[in-house]
Amino acid sequence: MSDELPGGRLFSRRRRANVTGGRQHFHKVKVTPEEEAVLLRLSQAQRVTIPRLLVESALAVETSETPTERRNAMAELYTLHRLLAAISNNVNQMAKAANATGTLPAELTATLRAVCSTAERIDDAIDGLASS
């Protein structure tokens, strides 16, 4: 699987979105070389700029996750959903082959139920993330 997030600016934007009237305030922060290394590592891991990382981290008072972490979690869920769709396609091909031979393996039915159940759980998780 690719490490890239799903397409579209929703999942790939490094900088924060523009706001009407612009941002009127700015803050300058001095850090040690060690702190810079940590900030750089964290910003690269989350695929955001250091200023965005600092703002999101500071403003994430009520939850333990930043908007970027939430976005990355949603992207991972979308990736899992696509994976399940591919698995379902493969299972469908197995069913088609089984239909041609006249025998349907017992595991196929259980696998289909598991795929559907997992896909529904992922959809519910995505809906929960999007609405909170």
* 41-81 confidence digits (pLDDT tens): 998 988 888 888 888 777 776 666 667 767 777 777 887 88
Q: Sign of the C-alpha dihedral, residues 59, 64, 29, 14?
A: negative
Q: Give which of 86, 63, 85, 66 is closest to 74, Cα–Cα.
A: 66
pTM: 0.42
- Please, what is the average pLDDT of the chain? 76
Residue 5: per-residue pLDDT:
40
Cβ contacts of 60 within 8 Å, gap of 6 or more: 66, 67
Q: What is the structure's pLDDT at 122?
A: 80
